[in-house]
Amino acid sequence: MQSRVSPRWMALVLGVAFALGACGGKGEGGKPPAAAGGGAPGGAQQQPPAPVVSVVTVRAQRVTVDIDLPGRLEAHRTADVRPQVSGIVQKRLFKEGSQVKAGQALYQIEDASYVAALEAARAQLAQAQAAQAKADADLKRYKPLVAADAISRQDFDAAQAASRSAQANVKAAQAAIRAAQVNVGHARITAPISGAIGQSYVSEGMLVTAGGATRMATIQQADPMYINVTQSASDVMRLRRDIAAGRRQAIDGAIEVDVKLEDGQSYEHKGRLLFTDPTVDAETGQVTLRAEVPNPDGVLLPGLYVRVLLPQGAIDGAFVVPQQAVTRGARDTVLIVNEQGGMEPRVVNVAGQQGGNWILTGGLQEGDRVIVAGTMIAGMMGAQKVQTREWQPGEGAAAPGQGAPAGAAPAASAAPAAASAAPAASAAQ
């Protein structure tokens, strides 16, 4: 008689067999046995790789040292429009905020009284000319008579004096006409210079007085613009001493300056230094410098605050490194990677700034590898030696790849993934 086994009992037997097989694969304490030859000899751990630091390889070069100075923009020419004759303002002939040209009419002052004075001067001229004609005719008649002793010499001299007086009266009348014409012309006020005209300070119907403090409007010529800069007198003296001692070289020719606006953006046009005031302000201890900068698009406005990068001579054999590579203090220092791969401090001298870099003199040699980033990780690991790679502009202090070579992270994450794969396989079975 053939026995039959139910499927339920068969599944239970297979499950127990699999469980016993799994337990048999573990060693003492439930741990798997070590693979043959898989452990490190003597229980020694594998040494981590040397951390990576970012470096710049320095090269000696001739560097122009700049100084950042504050400055204010000033119009190239400024003219206040003031009345030269007194009267009532009849009309304003310009639009506020517009561009005007030299000689353009701006205001019309009531000129009736000045026109009347001009007509009176012309009448006086006609009267003087008539008197001169009579005096000249009398003198002409007296000349033959005095020669014939028909009249006295005294009468002839009186006729000569009358002629000369009549000529003087004619010239005085002509001068009066010119003065009256000037007053009539000044009643129509014109622009003294070309430029941008601002607000009108007077309106129609207002009485203005000649020679008074009345300012009718202001015209400013804003292309080019002046930049008035102040610099410490001690800095100027130090620069002159450095040039005299040969530590810096004077810049030949025109000195160009870079201009930065209030928002930190660089202005597209370069300026040029015009002069340095030879005297020092007794109250501030500052020296005034003036530069000129083009303003063809009208971007710059008078009174605007700007920063000026002014060249302060050139240094031969200097080194340029990013600012984050230098530790400032009583002694400025940098870290370099020596030939043995270790980190070594060097004392340097910061001679100036060039954008986001320091200009260094002394302490470095051609080809030195100055550390810019990665020293924090190397110090935390207590590394005696480091690996290097060239620093890239814009790279942060904790750039990817510092402290561990490329590929280390994927290798480390592979172990947990392998460990979690085993239970998944057992569950599938």
For residue 45, what pLDDT is reported?
61
User: Which residue in this structure is represented by tokens 């070590």?
Assistant: 34
For residue 351, what pLDDT is reported?
84
Between these two residues, 238 and 226, which has the higher pLDDT value?
226
CATH classification of 111-186, choosing from 3.30.1330.10, 3.40.50.300, 1.10.287.470, 3.50.30.50?
1.10.287.470
CATH fold group of domain 57-74+221-390 = Elongation Factor Tu (Ef-tu); domain 3 (2.40.30)
> Quick one: average pLDDT of 99-116?
94
Q: Is the pLDDT of residue 64 over 60?
A: yes
Q: By CB neighbour count within 10 A (0-12 exposed, 13-18 middle, 19+ buried), where does 297 fall?
A: exposed
CATH 2.40.30.170 in the chain is located at 57-74+221-390
pLDDT, tens only, 265-294: 889 999 988 888 888 888 888 888 899 999
Report the alpha-carbon distance of residue 374 to residue 338 in Å, rounded: 16
For residue 396, what pLDDT is reported?
56
pTM of whole model > 0.85? no
Given pLDDT bands bounded at 50, 70 and 90, which one contains residue 145?
confident
**Residue-wise over 110-145: b if at least 16 C-beta within 10 A, else e?**
bbeebeebbeebbebbeebeebbeebeebbeebeee
Q: Is the pLDDT of residue 326 over 90?
A: yes
For residue 31, what pLDDT is reported?
46
Q: What is the pLDDT of the chain when averaged over all its residues?
A: 80
For residues 102 and 197, the answer to whether their CB atoms sit within 8 Å is no
pLDDT, tens only, 366-396: 999 999 988 888 777 777 888 889 998 876 5
Given pLDDT bands bounded at 50, 70 and 90, which one contains residue 151?
confident
Q: Of 168-182, 208-222, 413-427, which one has max mean pLDDT?
A: 168-182
Q: Is the pLDDT of residue 17 over 60?
A: no
